[in-house]
Structure 1
Amino acid sequence: MAIVKLSATERRRLSAFFTCLVLAVLAWLFTTLSTPQPYTIQEVLTYKNAPQKRAFHSLQPDTVNATVQGTGWQMLFSSMNKESKPITIDLSTLETRNYVVLNSQLKQINLNKDITQQIISIDPDTLYFDFSNRLVKKVPVQLMLGIKYRKQFAVSGNMIIKPAYITVSGPTERLKQINLWKTDSLLKTDVSETVNTRINLQSVKEGNLNVYPKTVQVIIPVDEFTEKTLDLPVKLINNHNYDNVKVFPQRVKVTFTTSLNRYPDMTEELFEATADLDLWRDHGYTTLPVKLTRVPPFCKIVKISPTNIDFIIKK
């Protein structure tokens, strides 16, 4: 392949040409991007002053196309910035009609916009709403947990949510589908003490629903756990014929974990160990497995020794 060799003068001229070309392109881009021009962006809608006596349902998506007057630089940066503030729409006119004209609220909307990014029109121009009777319903709060406890620590009592029920108001048909309301996820790691905090409820995704209150207090008792062993008597059940049955052994050792605070209170009266005589009568068992039919809450059984007992039936 032939290689064109340029003299030093020709190389300087070629370098100057490309330098001028790049500068001309940059100047053109700068001028073009600095010139004010309208461009369209998608905006998310939020609502305020919703009717208190009328439940509503929007008949269109919660996003609109907004035409903005700005420079090319602003258009470029707006496409890169996905966290623009939503447009807040005043719904006070829905008390007397079923639509809202957006362009009539442009002055109010632009008060919250940068002076260099004023909205000049919105498409669609009008939002339409469907109405139904507004009802109120109380539903339980469901706590969403993502807690990791330190080794040997765990929940030691009932979790408390205040309030346990929240009020939801909205259309009848929609409320029939709501049986609970979830909180945001409560995320914690290496927890070794009681959790007492406030957490937000999951946000309302529909403009025709209201939830009160927006936050709840959560109390999660946490304590260190240790092992304890008790000797429990074995209770024979389903002795329908009142046979004279002797079991061996008559007591079993039960090892379980419990919180340090409740350790002294863990006595045999709180537990019940049983052996079912029907297993012999109906299924021919020669030994009877021991089952715990009553265990205090927040106790975890580690082992039962022995797990099976012998028995003798005297005729």
Structure 2
Amino acid sequence: MAIIKLSAIERRRLSAFITCLVVAVLAWLFTALGNPYKYTVKQVVTYKNAPKKRAFHALQSDTVDATVQGTGWQMLFSRINNDHLPIVVDLHTLETRDYVVLSAQLKQINLKKQVNREIITINPDTLFFDFSNRTVKRVPVKLVSVIKYQKQFAQSGNVVLQPAYVTVSGPADVIQGIKYWQTDSVKLSDINESYSSRVSLKPSPEGNLDIKPKSVRVNIPIDEFTEKTMSISVKLINNRHYYDVKVFPQKVKITFTTSLTDYGDINEDDFEVVADLDNWKQNGYSVLPVKVTHAPSFSKIVKIEPQVVDFIVKK
């Protein structure tokens, strides 16, 4: 392939031509992008001033096509600019009718837009709604949590939610299926002290549901745990024929974990250890396994010694 050799003067002329061409293209581009254009963007619709006595359900998608007037630069960067802020629709007119005309609210919608970035039209221009009787229901709050404790620490008592119930209002058919309402997720790591904070409730997935209050106070008691050993009497169960039965030993040692706060308060009455005589009568066992049927809340059984007891039956 032949190589064109240019003289120094020709190279300078070529360089000057390319520079002028690039400058001209950039000047044209800046001028063109500075001119006003109309372009369409898809925007999410949110609602405010929902009717208090009427539950509603939108009969169309929660997005609309908005025709926006702005510069070419704004059109070029429409995917990362404020054109994607939601359009807030005022629903106060739904108290007397079942539709909202968006063109009648363009002025207040554009007040939240940047200058020179005005919405001209919205498609569809009219939003229609279906209505049903609005009902109210009181449901318990359910805490959503992921907690990782520091070594030897754990939850030491019941979680307290204030308030423990929230009021949900909306369409009767939707409210009927709501059994509880979840909080936002509480995520704690390497925690070694009680937790108390205000936590928001999960937002409603539908615009026609109202939750009050919007947040609750969460209290999670957390304490350091240690092991404790106690001797507990064995209780015989299922002695249906009232045999005279003696078990040996009559007490077993239980090792369990307990919080430091409750360590001194736990006694034998907080436990129940049983041996089931049906294991002999029906299954032919020669020894009876022991089982803990009751223990203090938030305590964990580490071991039982012995795990079986001997017995003598006198008929």
TM-score, normalised by the number of residues in structure 2: 0.96
Change over 3 Å in CA distance of 1:286–1:81 after alignment to 2? farther
Q: Which residue of 2 aligns with 1:10?
A: 10
Q: How does 1:1-315 map to 2 (within 5 A)?
A: 1-81=1-81, 84-315=84-315
Say if 2:184 and 2:201, in contact at 8 Å, map to a contact too. Answer: yes
> What are structure 2's unaligned runs of at least 5 residues?
none
Provide the C-alpha distance between the structure 2 equivalents of 1:206 and 1:221, rounded to a whole number of angstroms. Answer: 34
Provide the C-alpha distance between the structure 2 equivalents of 1:207 and 1:137, rounded to a whole number of angstroms. Answer: 17
Provide the C-alpha distance between the structure 1 equivalents of 2:245 and 2:184, rounded to a whole number of angstroms. Answer: 57
1:167-190 per-position Cα deviation (integer Å, ceiling 9, x unaligned): 111111111221111111111212
1:31-50 per-position Cα deviation (integer Å, ceiling 9, x unaligned): 12111111111222111121
C-alpha displacement at 1:126, in angstroms?
0.4
Residue 97 of structure 1: SS of its match in structure 2? Answer: coil
1:241-269 per-position Cα deviation (integer Å, ceiling 9, x unaligned): 22222222211110111110000011111
1:225-255 per-position Cα deviation (integer Å, ceiling 9, x unaligned): 1111101111111112222222222111101
Greater shift after overlay, 145-154 or 260-269? Answer: 145-154
Residue correspondences, number: 315
Residue 263 of structure 2: SS of its match in structure 1? Answer: helix
C-alpha displacement at 1:83, in angstroms?
8.6
Greater shift after overlay, 154-163 or 19-28? Answer: 19-28
> How many percent of aligned residue pairs carry the same amino acid?
63
C-alpha displacement at 1:80, in angstroms?
2.4
Provide the C-alpha distance between the structure 2 equivalents of 1:20 and 1:311, rounded to a whole number of angstroms. Answer: 108
One-letter code aligned to 1:91: L
One-letter code aligned to 2:148: K
Greater shift after overlay, 236-245 or 98-107? Answer: 236-245
Residue 283 of structure 1: SS of its match in structure 2? Answer: coil
Provide the C-alpha distance between the structure 1 equivalents of 2:14 and 2:252, rounded to a whole number of angstroms. Answer: 99
Change over 3 Å in CA distance of 1:30–1:282 after alignment to 2? same
Provide the C-alpha distance between the structure 1 equivalents of 2:82 and 2:219, rounded to a whole number of angstroms. Answer: 37
Provide the C-alpha distance between the structure 2 equivalents of 1:254 and 1:139, rounded to a whole number of angstroms. Answer: 40
Provide the C-alpha distance between the structure 1 equivalents of 2:81 and 2:119, rounded to a whole number of angstroms. Answer: 17
1:143-195 per-position Cα deviation (integer Å, ceiling 9, x unaligned): 11022111111111110111111111111111122111111111121211111
C-alpha displacement at 1:82, in angstroms?
7.5
One-letter code aligned to 2:160: I
Provide the C-alpha distance between the structure 2 equivalents of 1:83 and 1:116, rounded to a whole number of angstroms. Answer: 12
C-alpha displacement at 1:13, in angstroms?
2.9
TM-score, normalised by the number of residues in structure 1: 0.96
Q: What do you get for the CA RMSD once the two structures are aligned?
A: 1.5
Provide the C-alpha distance between the structure 1 equivalents of 2:55 and 2:93, rounded to a whole number of angstroms. Answer: 14
Provide the C-alpha distance between the structure 2 equivalents of 1:131 and 1:69, rounded to a whole number of angstroms. Answer: 35
C-alpha displacement at 1:208, in angstroms?
1.2
Provide the C-alpha distance between the structure 1 equivalents of 2:83 and 2:239, rounded to a whole number of angstroms. Answer: 72
Change over 3 Å in CA distance of 1:270–1:82 after alignment to 2? farther
C-alpha displacement at 1:10, in angstroms?
3.1
> What are structure 1's unaligned runs of at least 5 residues?
none
